[in-house]
Structure 1
């Protein structure tokens, strides 16, 4: 296999945090319910030329290295107070990169990417003068058949996400230390964004980097999980000093269940002896797991005479279809009939 061909969308260095031998991992396949006790890490969360070419993967790997070093420091720290701002900046970069780089992320936005391409070409065609061998009508008939190159569309989103990772800098950070008898598990889309504060809000997106009520979970090992949260609306009891010990199996299972919903195809565990637990979690969640593809809403705009003049479209990522609660996290009640588009707006509205 040529160098660079097998390109990972979840890095091998991340898998090794959950592997006893650094080479293999136990996996559960969602679509077949098959459990494999020892699968090679080398062939997990990867596809041939996933990013398009070797040079692009090298650029992604360079970003991964910066963020990965920060994640390593957080995992090994006994107190997050000892870490500098550069480490937390690297952590936020890694979260943004990992959120946007997966196969699940690519699939979720595929229909929107194509829709935006069609709208762009239609707008250009509308103002284009008739010229060349094809009429405007002939060109218009071709547009719906065109599709974006998935890797290029995803790379654009990765770039935007990484560039805007500073938008997470006001969120609180805590490492959950697992003292229960069940491990943290992860999936092929391990960085999960969720929102309990606005879980009942419909028709708009509430998972943006500046969204009120944003929650981010990233398992770091079988014993630790990174939790990043909006402390304006969530409170942890008792207030942690960056590290929170969790012994309640129900809390560990709630966090693990997020992985069942975010996964494209595979859920991973560090030990094959956890097969029964993984299957149990899947059985409790499988009927609630839904397609996480972006939602498209269409509206008509009206001119001064109240006649439809154009169509507007809203695209957003839906919240995972899970009833998510943690015994140690209290959620402020969201105000009825009021929707804040960003944490800045929320804070201004409260003062």
Structure 2
């Protein structure tokens, strides 16, 4: 992530949390423990130590760079989330807190053990498909079924691209869901969940960050969840308010199902709550959860004239058809999905611009500071200019 560690600093911490402790602490009563439901065994623990949750040894590598960078991101995000919970309000749109929250949301969606499982599954399937197209030795081809291809550090490798993609989602509207029902929000170990209700049931993945209809949902406490969504596609609550109150336990349960469906190992909850009352039964859990994370297929496509070519299509699996996103109302009919290469985008020109700037940054053609400025949406620049003008006016009296 571009940070160097001073050799004189304290020793590296080998236990790396992929859900930060500050977020888990918002679901705690005593600040040191949290309720836990294990998805494999069904076991419930009401006092699991925060220190040992959602973590793995050296998950982001042994050099400490990614862990250090995450610490800096988490510091800013922790302050933003605390303010949201204390005030019951989301950040102002196009503010510095808006950008901090968007970055944290993307990082959190890319850094978990579940995300690492999906990345390794993609590497394994794509690698084997490519080897089957290149190997000619029958013995080697036969051995592919017993071979597993994995990335060395999938979580660490995903962090930098996720951070650089923040500008793509800065157009999404933010609202805070205030849960006043009898059912609490729960937190999965993959808490930042993407969805696309516009294309519910689509046979191809429509969860790209620039896709029309994108939704992001993440609980931040038993009483609050933050949502980012495409306001051209959906309406949510009152246009006059950025807070949506949820008095309905059934709506909260439907939102919680996104946590149950996307978690890898554990669901976390406030220990004083009553898990048997709102835990899905085993049949519902089986309906929500999928074993396959990634689909990889090879197709033959028609090029100019009589030319044909093979194309490898890699897609994150669409969510379970059992999942339904409540609250959102569609403001448009979904444009047709022609093929993977022409998925409808919210702003194709902006997505292409960010892609080009990212390529220039990765090639060393522009410095990070220039990338940051050139990928700042106009609304953010206008806010900065207004604030500077106001500060200058105050100085001059």
Q: TM-score, structure 1 length as denominator?
A: 0.84
Native 8 Å contact 2:196 2:207 kept in 1: yes
Native 8 Å contact 2:121 2:150 kept in 1: no
Native 8 Å contact 1:198 1:334 kept in 2: no
Native 8 Å contact 1:215 1:228 kept in 2: yes
Task: Determine helix, strand or coil for the equivalent of 2:51.
Answer: helix
**CA 1:306–1:110 in structure 2 vs 1: closer, same or farther (change >3 Å)?**
same
Give the equivalent residue in structure 1 for 2:56: 47
1:38 aligns with one of 37, 47, 51: 47
Give CA deviations for 1:74-99 in whole Å, capped at 9, x if unaligned: 33334446576110100010001000
Give the equivalent residue in structure 1 for 2:115: 105
Superposed, 1:92-171 pairs within 5 Å as: 92-116=102-126, 145=147, 147-151=149-153, 153-171=154-172
Give the equivalent residue in structure 2 for 1:131: none
Q: Following TM superposition, by how much is the alpha carbon of 1:211 offset from its aligned partner in structure 2, in angstroms?
A: 1.1
Native 8 Å contact 1:101 1:154 kept in 2: yes
Superposed, 1:251-330 pairs within 5 Å as: 251-280=251-280, 284-301=284-301, 306=306, 310-321=309-320, 322-326=322-326, 328-330=327-329
Task: Determine helix, strand or coil for the equivalent of 1:225.
Answer: strand
Superposed, 1:65-104 pairs within 5 Å as: 65-80=75-90, 85-104=95-114
Q: Following TM superposition, by how much is the alpha carbon of 1:142 offset from its aligned partner in structure 2, in angstroms?
A: 12
Give CA deviations for 1:301-350 in whole Å, capped at 9, x if unaligned: 45767465x42111111222133142x42124534635543112599xxx
Native 8 Å contact 2:113 2:155 kept in 1: no
**Does residue 238 in structure 1 map to residue 238 in structure 2?**
yes
Task: Determine helix, strand or coil for the equivalent of 1:57.
Answer: helix
Give the equivalent residue in structure 2 for 1:220: 220
**CA 1:54–1:319 in structure 2 vs 1: closer, same or farther (change >3 Å)?**
same
Task: Determine helix, strand or coil for the equivalent of 1:176.
Answer: strand
Give the equivalent residue in structure 2 for 1:129: none
**CA 1:32–1:311 in structure 2 vs 1: closer, same or farther (change >3 Å)?**
same
Give the gaps of 5 or more residues in structure 2. Answer: 1-10, 351-397
Give the equivalent residue in structure 1 for 2:190: 189
**CA 1:307–1:250 in structure 2 vs 1: closer, same or farther (change >3 Å)?**
same
Distance between the aligned counterparts of 1:258 and 1:274, measured in 2? Answer: 19
Q: Following TM superposition, by how much is the alpha carbon of 1:19 offset from its aligned partner in structure 2, in angstroms?
A: 0.4
Distance between the aligned counterparts of 1:105 and 1:8, measured in 2? Answer: 14
Give the equivalent residue in structure 1 for 2:387: none
**Does residue 344 in structure 1 map to residue 347 in structure 2?**
yes
Q: Following TM superposition, by how much is the alpha carbon of 1:109 offset from its aligned partner in structure 2, in angstroms?
A: 2.3
Give the gaps of 5 or more residues in structure 1. Answer: 127-135
Q: Following TM superposition, by how much is the alpha carbon of 1:285 offset from its aligned partner in structure 2, in angstroms?
A: 3.6
Native 8 Å contact 2:193 2:262 kept in 1: yes
Native 8 Å contact 1:4 1:54 kept in 2: no
Native 8 Å contact 1:292 1:320 kept in 2: no
Q: Which has the higher strand share?
A: 1
Q: TM-score, structure 2 length as denominator?
A: 0.75
Native 8 Å contact 1:177 1:243 kept in 2: yes
Native 8 Å contact 1:96 1:165 kept in 2: yes
Q: Following TM superposition, by how much is the alpha carbon of 1:103 offset from its aligned partner in structure 2, in angstroms?
A: 0.4
Give the equivalent residue in structure 1 for 2:7: none
Native 8 Å contact 2:196 2:213 kept in 1: yes
Native 8 Å contact 1:121 1:143 kept in 2: no
**CA 1:238–1:184 in structure 2 vs 1: closer, same or farther (change >3 Å)?**
same
| Matched length | 332
